[in-house]
């Protein structure tokens, strides 16, 4: 039988009663409680997760890729359309049926409507002739489109956001000073409320008249720097920042694509009609 001296017994009793020992016991107890909690949570999740869900999760982890996306849409005639390409659906902010009807007036006072622009692609910008900000840059980009795409059949439209001051005569002088070919490039004005409804409603672009202390000479109107691309059916196809060279390069490519497509459609229609 092992004999413990009184001094050694005293030391053992002192150690077990020391703060160090007590703190150690508490810490180890906390660790064990945490481990039990993790084990319990995992067990609960495994039990309450359907088997088929666990299998899908495991397969996704193994393949490192999500399942193919299948998009089901309802067509205007009530039929169903299915896209199983796996590509995410793209949502355009513009009406798939095209922009709203309008009637504005060109530099000769002639009415121009949406119907007059159908059949070929066109681009449109929003400026005012007294502008001291980015309007000159936007108009310069329009002029470059005119000059660089001479062989492509499309139209350019400049729509003023300040029709009260930008009369047909003023717009004509503005276009002449910018080298506009009026056979291809039209400058339009009209009722301000109708202009703003078209810009905001159909093109989804901001436009408003500055008032009060915010109204400074040359900065009376707030509008977008974007040039909008519209196809031969009157549907908006994109917006392109006129102040950025890469955006203008992309716009030129898109105009050429739409112009070629419109030419093919026109030729096919003529053949079909026997013309």
Residue 47 lies in a domain: no
Residue-level pLDDT at 128: 98
Among residues 1, 3, 4, which one has the least CA distance to residue 12? 4
d(Cα 118, Cα 130) in Å, to the nearest integer? 30
Half-sphere exposure of 173 (CA within 13 A, CB side): 8
Residue-level pLDDT at 43: 54
Burial degree of 124 (CB within 10 A; 0-12, 13-18, 19+): buried
DSSP 164: T
What CATH code is carried by the domain that includes residue 121?
3.40.30.10
pLDDT per residue as tens digits for the range 82-123: 455 555 555 889 999 999 999 999 999 999 999 999 999 999
Dihedral over Cα of 108, 113, 115, 119: its sign: positive
How many domains does the chain fold into?
Answer: 1
Residue 135 lies in a domain: yes
Residue-level pLDDT at 139: 98
Among residues 248, 179, 201, 2, which one has the least CA distance to residue 100? 201
Residue-level pLDDT at 90: 59
Residue 13 lies in a domain: no
- Domain coverage including residue 129: 103-273
pLDDT band at 30 (very low <50, low <70, confident <90, very high): low
pLDDT exceeds cutoff 80 at 12? no
Residue 35 lies in a domain: no
Residue-level pLDDT at 55: 37
CB 243, CB 137: distance < 8 Å: yes
Phi, psi for residue 51 in degrees, rounded to 5: -60, -40
pLDDT per residue as tens digits for the range 243-261: 999 999 999 999 999 999 9
Q: What is the mean pLDDT of residues 162-187?
A: 98
Residue-level pLDDT at 268: 87
d(Cα 94, Cα 96) in Å, to the nearest integer? 6
Residue 150 lies in a domain: yes
Residue-level pLDDT at 246: 98
Element (H, E) at 83: strand 80-83
Residue 76 lies in a domain: no
Residue-level pLDDT at 20: 62
Q: What percent of the chain has pLDDT over 70?
A: 67
Tell me the residue length of the chain: 275
């Amino acid at each position: 039988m092992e004999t413990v001296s009184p001094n050694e017994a005293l030391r053992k009793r002192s150690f077990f009663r020391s703060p160090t020992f007590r703190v150690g016991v508490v810490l180890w107890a906390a660790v064990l409680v945490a481990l039990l909690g993790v084990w319990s949570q995992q067990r609960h999740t495994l039990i309450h997760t359907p088997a088929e869900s666990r299998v899908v999760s495991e397969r996704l982890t193994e393949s490192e890729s999500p399942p193919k996306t299948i998009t089901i849409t309802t067509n205007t005639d009530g039929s169903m359309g299915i896209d199983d390409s796996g590509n995410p659906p793209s949502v355009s902010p513009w009406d798939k049926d095209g922009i709203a009807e309008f009637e504005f007036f060109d530099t000769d006072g002639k009415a121009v409507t949406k119907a007059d622009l159908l059949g070929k692609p066109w681009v449109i910008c929003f400026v005012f002739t007294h502008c001291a900000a980015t309007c000159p840059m936007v108009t310069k980009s329009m002029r470059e489109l005119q000059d660089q795409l001479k062989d492509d059949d499309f139209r350019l439209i400049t729509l003023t956001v300040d029709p009260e001051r930008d009369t047909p005569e003023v717009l004509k002088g503005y276009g002449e000073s910018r080298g506009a070919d009026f056979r291809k490039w039209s400058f339009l004005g009209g009722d301000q409320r109708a202009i703003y409804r078209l810009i905001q409603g159909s093109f989804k672009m901001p436009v408003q008249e500055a008032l009060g202390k915010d109204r400074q000479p040359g900065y009376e109107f707030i509008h977008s720097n974007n040039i909008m691309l519209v196809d031969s059916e009157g549907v908006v196809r994109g917006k392109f920042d006129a102040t950025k060279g890469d955006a203008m390069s992309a716009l030129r490519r898109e105009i050429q694509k739409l112009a070629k497509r419109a030419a093919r459609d026109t030729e096919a229609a003529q053949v079909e009609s026997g013309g």
